[in-house]
Structure 1
Amino acid sequence: MIRMRNIDLTLFVVLLLFVIFGVVMVYSASYPYAYIQYDNAAHYFHRQLFWAVISSLFLIGAMIMPYQVYKKISPLFVMFTLTALVLVLIPGVGVERNFSTRWISIGGFLFQPVEFAKLTMLIYFAYFYSRKEAYIGHFGKGVIPPLIILAVIFGLLLGQPDLGSATLILFSCGMILFFTSIRFRHLFLLASVAVAVFIFFAMMSPYRIERITSFMDPFADAQGAGYQLVNSYISIHTGGIIGNGLGGSVQKLGYLPEAHTDFIMSIITEELGLFGVMIVLSFYFFLFIKGVRIAMSARDEFGKLLAIGITFQIIIQAFINLGAILGMLPITGITLPFISYGGSSLLITMISAGILLNISAFSNKYVEQEG
């Protein structure tokens, strides 16, 4: 039985504070657009606040539920994920926005199956490779089976299309595989195939090619493909060291699209300056250090691999988002974990963090008993 003294209260409190920070920034970044679209400046704020409360309850639930339970229901998670990703592609079921079909409407709320897929694949990979550690040197028996499921999910996500999320899941699962006892030549082969597949699908679509070329030189088409990135640059530049003050962004007044979702960090930089940037980066660095320590102290292989997967998935997602707003990576539509607007994204990320806390609590419990 997990007790409160076994919980990492520092990580728990920091997570809740950061979610509150995210809700505040969603309101600040969205109120002009929300007022124009819905005649209600607090439209996105109310929705994000609702999901923040719900997600916090799920965080506590995941923190209490023994993480070993997920091993038993991992196949069910995979079946549900595959079903949901197929349903989203069916006309009339999936909801299309911005030329992508990534949502299913449930009770007036939009749910993204890909968010569930992110966590499902981490659980499944950790479950499989923790059981097959003795066979990990056998490529066909000990390595390949989960990769088949991963390839199917990758293909379904390309059908939405959502290469960004597909790539995130690919890299996150790859990190789990990296921390097993897989042979180097097998790992090198898989990494080469993954890079080749990414390049192939990135270059086969004119839309994706435009995304890639626009981040290299956004000013070449500042009113077209480079519009978002150019306005992100302006937002970041005007923020300076201390920013323009909370609510003081100019770019959110119709200049920067997706200000409360993909580009919320640009608004944070404009309003809170370098100080705000350091707060956000410090949080992710803190979470990374905590996550690695939790993985290293896990009592079993499943807990270790799952903690590694959760930690790296959150950090890789943050890296992709921050790289996009800085023009270092193509714009993929990947949101900033814990901060960007989005209910299903916040919910799954908080559940993942709750599982991380539970793995930590079990380790602390055994240390306490051994002491």
Structure 2
Amino acid sequence: MVFSATSASAALGEGDPMRFLVKQGLYAGAGLVLLAVFTRVDYHVLRPLAPLLLVVAFLGCVAVLAVAPSINGAHRWFVFGPVSVQPAELAKLAVLLWACAVLSRRPAPRTLGELMKPVGIVVVLFGGLIVIEPDLGTTISLFVMIAGILLVSGVRFRLFALATSLALGAGLLAIWMEPYRRERVFSFLDPWKDAQGAGFQNVQAIIGMGSGGITGEGLGQGIQKVNFLPEAHTDMIFAVVGEELGFVGSSLVIAAFAVFAWAGFRIALHSRDPFGKRLAAGITTLVCGQAAVNLAAVLGMAPLTGIPLPFVSYGGSSLLVLLSAVGVLLNIAVNERVVEARVRDRGRGNRRSRPSGTRGRGSAPREGSDRDVRRHTRPRRVAAGA
């Protein structure tokens, strides 16, 4: 889809229709290598590295504001020749690991003060730095991810609703303070009112989605991407999917994210390790929450926020971080299977060694009991290829 969305405009502009495809292919290859590595490396080794990653991400977010070049009016990327790096993407992963490590060591926050110290303060700090770039979409992704972690951590609904209300209020304030963000909100309400101005991107996305019909115009046959639809290869790539693959292709993309959500939250719910449970929930919420916001914006159900579609949109930093996160998610599933196998083996051994008749006071616990589960859920390193 990246090649389809970029080949025509790249050929018209620079004469090389393969430019974006080659770069995205290299990023995808590197991302798959990282996915394989994190699948085999026990995710518990990331826990002591979380503070260091947080410091590196913070320095990157500060440095990008100070020394990075302005691209389309934003300071988001370090550019090294053909390679660009976005520190905000690393910040999402660093905050995810650190927040899961902190929340897994202590009881669920019961008051707003406990929630703010230290998790809330760190999240607000990173959110503020990323908004200044400006990049409201990544900030929204960050807060949605933290919301998923808090729900799994057992935060009471009243506290969760209060924190969510405060975050929404801060988001509305950030939107109101920037004129172009206000225009996006008002254009979302009625994009056809200014179809050649603030509502242009919304209108072109709607035209593209509607032109696809049931089966689409055919892969590579869309015309909206050729200097009509802004950011067709990043934020608006789902409109290209809708135009070229139609309702069928669009439904398959949405179904794929639904399956990802089911699998990811299933891993989180079945994990006995507090750190792994929160980490799996955070990764799944990050991917699927970002996808939901992007799809809603393209379909005209929410204002445009600049959030790319995970795994589909063009962008090297996002692809590398998300594929690495998927590797961690798979490793959590592998660890959980090992733990379940040990619990089953222990239970069988207890039954074989238990004398017939009624259990005595000192006899072994029943298979799957809380005592037995706790005994076998301490973090263990998984060997390569387990």
Please say whether Structure 1 and Structure 2 have the same fold, judged by a TM-score greater than 0.5. Answer: yes
On the 8 A contact 1:65/1:358 being kept in 2, the answer is yes
Tell me which residue corresponds to 2:309.
Answer: 336
| Distance in 2 separating the partners of 1:184 and 1:255 | 45
| Distance in 1 separating the partners of 2:329 and 2:132 | 31
Tell me which residue corresponds to 2:60.
Answer: 84
Q: Are positions 1:308 and 2:284 aligned together?
A: no
Tell me which residue corresponds to 2:120.
Answer: 147
Aligned partner of 1:257 among 230, 235, 238? 230
Alignment of 1:169-318 (within 5 A): 169-318=142-291
On the 8 A contact 1:235/1:251 being kept in 2, the answer is yes
For 1:80, give the aligned amino acid: V
> Matched residue of 2:76: which SS?
strand
Gaps of 5+ in 1: 1-24
Q: Are positions 1:48 and 2:24 aligned together?
A: yes
> Matched residue of 2:134: which SS?
coil
Identity %: 38
Tell me which residue corresponds to 2:10.
Answer: 34
After superposition, the CA RMSD in angstroms is 1.4
Q: Are positions 1:352 and 2:325 aligned together?
A: yes
> Matched residue of 1:89: which SS?
helix
Which of 185-194 and 227-236 deviates more? 185-194
Aligned partner of 2:92 among 118, 131, 147? 118
On the 8 A contact 1:122/1:172 being kept in 2, the answer is yes
Aligned length: 344
For 1:346, give the aligned amino acid: L
Tell me which residue corresponds to 1:163.
Answer: 136
On the 8 A contact 2:130/2:136 being kept in 1, the answer is yes
| Distance in 2 separating the partners of 1:73 and 1:107 | 30
On the 8 A contact 1:34/1:41 being kept in 2, the answer is yes
For 2:165, give the aligned amino acid: S
Larger radius of gyration: 2
On the 8 A contact 2:311/2:322 being kept in 1, the answer is yes
**Given the two structures, how large is their TM-score scaled by the length of structure 2?**
0.86
> Matched residue of 1:351: which SS?
helix
**Given the two structures, how large is their TM-score scaled by the length of structure 1?**
0.90
On the 8 A contact 1:137/1:181 being kept in 2, the answer is no
Gaps of 5+ in 2: 345-386
| Distance in 2 separating the partners of 1:250 and 1:141 | 53
On the 8 A contact 2:208/2:240 being kept in 1, the answer is yes
